[in-house]
Homo-oligomer: A and B are copies of this chain.
């Protein structure tokens, strides 16, 4: 079919008739599907079942350092859990704190501490500073932005290129404005665009010269081992690069096993310079006696080595890859020829970022919802939920079974076409 732009008003009206009829038939199916969040599907959850047998009533609960994991103590994680997370994150075990079940919680806590006590001993509490700003590469992760909004931190959109955030703007703002205290990054398989930062972008991050001594790069490496294909995509190690520049205090890196073992029952980790770690540990020890060491031990015992983890992640990939490819091929077939939408083809992570024609995203999401398919609300990937172009839709293909996903993908493409046709018709009136 020819691109929608090339159609006459009459042709578009006919096309809309056809699309509407098809849409009504979907509505009559009474669908009830959810593609709103990056949740693993049931098949993936089954992959980590053997981990649940790693600890039972006859296990030995002694960590390598002699700690009885059933009792109080050890605020920063047992040695074997620290070593596992450190080796996956490319840092040393003493550069890691293993926390609770959520890296998001660790990020929130880091910012909450900065609000009341300043960031890791550098500078005044953010609540006592005139203004605190964060740079937000967009589209980005809604929960990052929600933390900033919660704490009244002003968010500044930074546009994303194919190799990462626009570093010219990042450098200018970070190096020139003392109110800029942080930047949110999902550097590998970025949420939602799926892109991975290039070596050059990582090096430019490592060499930032922030005007604010309490500026930190929030490096949320959520999808650090979540490749869909072999060979794995290599992300340059920001921490090593920052060390070369003597700037490792500027970096806070986060990861978790939420999508390796279990969301909500995984383990999360923060990696940072020894200086930062020392300060954070001291502050954390006021908040808690320690996180769940049984969960840490369960993970360390089951996920024996980095190699074992990568093998495990291949099994996730085998389940996820067909889901991504199904949605992408449907979009390729249905949308690409019409010139009404754009997207990246992600090599990992949990999302496909779809850009419709400007002004159509909200309508597409509403149309899908009316037909029984819940997508992430349009605008979610932007600070204050404001997508300036109303064009971005985050698609999360992981959760639905593949049979349902086929229906969903078709419905999604239909709704994108319908919204585009209506927009073009209006333009021609």
| Residues of A in contact with B (beta carbons under 8 Å apart) | 37, 39-40, 42, 45, 48-50, 52-53, 55-59, 61, 68-73, 100-102, 104-105, 108-109, 112, 115-117, 125, 127-128, 143, 146-147, 150-151, 258, 262-265, 283, 286-295
B287/A264 in contact, CB under 8 A: no
CA distance A55 to B48 in the complex (A): 13
Q: A50-B57, A56-B52 are in contact. Are A265 and B294 (CB under 8 A)?
A: yes
Q: Please give the count of copies of this chain that the complex contains.
A: 2
Contact A104 B263, beta carbon cutoff 8 Å: no
A210 to B40, CA, bound (A): 48
Which residues of B have CB within 8 Å of A112?
112, 116, 287
Partner among B49, B71, B265, B295 whose Cβ is within 8 Å of the Cβ of A57: B49
Task: Enumerate 8 A-B pairs (CB-CB under 8 Å) in ascending A order.
Answer: A39-B71, A45-B70, A52-B55, A100-B292, A101-B291, A127-B127, A127-B128, A292-B292
A146 touches B286 (CB 8 A): yes
* A227–B101 alpha-carbon span in the complex (Å): 32
On chain B, the residues within 8 Å of A58 by CB distance are 49
User: Which residue of B has the minimal Cβ distance to A152?
Assistant: B116
Q: What's the Cα separation between A263 and B53 when bound, in Å?
A: 21
From B115, B128, B258, B292, A265 is in contact (CB under 8 Å) with B292
Report the bound CA distance from A150 to B290 in whole Å. Answer: 17
Q: Is the CB of A262 within 8 A of B295?
A: no
Q: Determine whether the beta carbon of A68 is less than 8 Å from that of B50.
A: no
Among A48, A57, A117, which residue has the most Cβ atoms of chain B within 10 A? A57
Shortest distance between the CB of A126 and any CB in chain B (Å)? 9
When chains A and B are docked, how far (Å) is the Cα of A42 from the Cα of B101?
Answer: 26
Q: How far is the CB of A296 from chain B (nearest CB, A)?
A: 9
Of B128, B143, B151, B264, which contacts A71 at CB under 8 A? Answer: B264
- Is A292 in contact with B289, judged by CB distance below 8 angstroms? no
Residues of B within 8 A of A108 (CB): 286-288
Q: Is the CB of B56 within 8 A of A68?
A: no
What is the distance, in angstroms, from A256's C-beta to the closest C-beta of chain B? 11
